[in-house]
Structure 1
Amino acid sequence: MTGNSWRERRRELLEDDPERMADITARLLDEMGTEDRDDEEIEAGHRASQRAAGREYAPDARLDEELQLRPTGPGTDGGVRRARLTERGRRYVERLSETRDRDQSITISGRITELRESGWVKVKTGTAKNAPAYDVRFEEPGELLRMRPGLGDNVHFRVRFRQRLDAVGTARSTEYTYLGPAAEQTSIPIEP
């Protein structure tokens, strides 16, 4: 006894007899029946399954190439209509999805609310619940470790603020990368 499961032993037996395997497969397909769907319907089903799986992890997930229109009103029947982009249309969409970087050096001042050894710090700029918070990435995690920051520490970072803009100027992503310490901003004394 080699410890193989009954499924593995059955597979091994059938591999020796390809004709019998073909007969079993044909009988199974005959019992199950086959679907009469065209390639577009199969592809649409595949895309819907892919989107559903993605939404298990991120509820607002969608496919980049998907466009959903839901006409409402009298005379509309929300059915599936298909359209295909021409080569010219695909090139246009590719151009729209290309991004360019826009960099700017800014100062972020606040207190540290989260730290990660991988070189990432969250800096909250105020004490209110809805105060802006920035995720600052250190390109060299060792630099963060050498600073020995602690939760609640006040910091003043000079960072590179990078936006990835698409062809129409919409920000696709933003990131903040640590460049160095910034001089503390002193408050201006106000006379009573």
Structure 2
Amino acid sequence: MQIDTDQGDPLHLLLSRCSIGTRQLQEPGPGDADLQRMVEAALRAPDHAGLVPYRFHAIRGDARHALADLFEQAALDAGKDPVQATRDRDRALGAPVLLAVVARIDQGHPVAGVHEQWMAVGGAVTNLLNAAHALGYAGKMLSGSKVRAAPVVSAFCGPGESLVGWVVLGTAAVPGRIKFSKPAPQQVLTRWPGH
């Protein structure tokens, strides 16, 4: 489904954003200044107790080849054949920029529960993707089995941290479209009648 929103609508940017995968991304990707702005937007997400239970690692240029090596090794370690391992390798090279998303959840925080911290991580990623869209870029959040592969995790995470996945970023090579049908707002929003 093509996205069609009224550009005069104050919510136009939010309602016109959709996920664009690696194969539909091309240069240019966001530079340092744009990445800083995206992270600034991420930091505006709701975050009970101000824990900032996430961080991002930017991967671009030659660093993508090092990530490709990790992806390939993780695939081979998981028993994938060399053709599949090459496909996994290529996933690190397709987007101009990747951001590894790392969560650091404080399991015993006295104020902010674990679920609230995970909500903060999700809100930060959402704000970051919306900011990318507002700046003229496209992207998508990806995860998969690689987020649990020991060599990949150890490359990004310290003790007590979890690798959530990657945000792939670049310029859309094709117009965005919604891949999955979404329910009407009234199917998601109901009015609670009280007791």
Shorter-chain TM-score: what band?
under 0.3
TM-score by length of 2: 0.18
Task: For CA contacts below 8 A with separation 6 or more, give which structure has more relative contact order.
Answer: 2
Q: Which has the larger radius of gyration?
A: 1
Larger proportion of helix: 2
Calculate the TM-score normalised by the size of structure 1: 0.18
More strand by share: 1
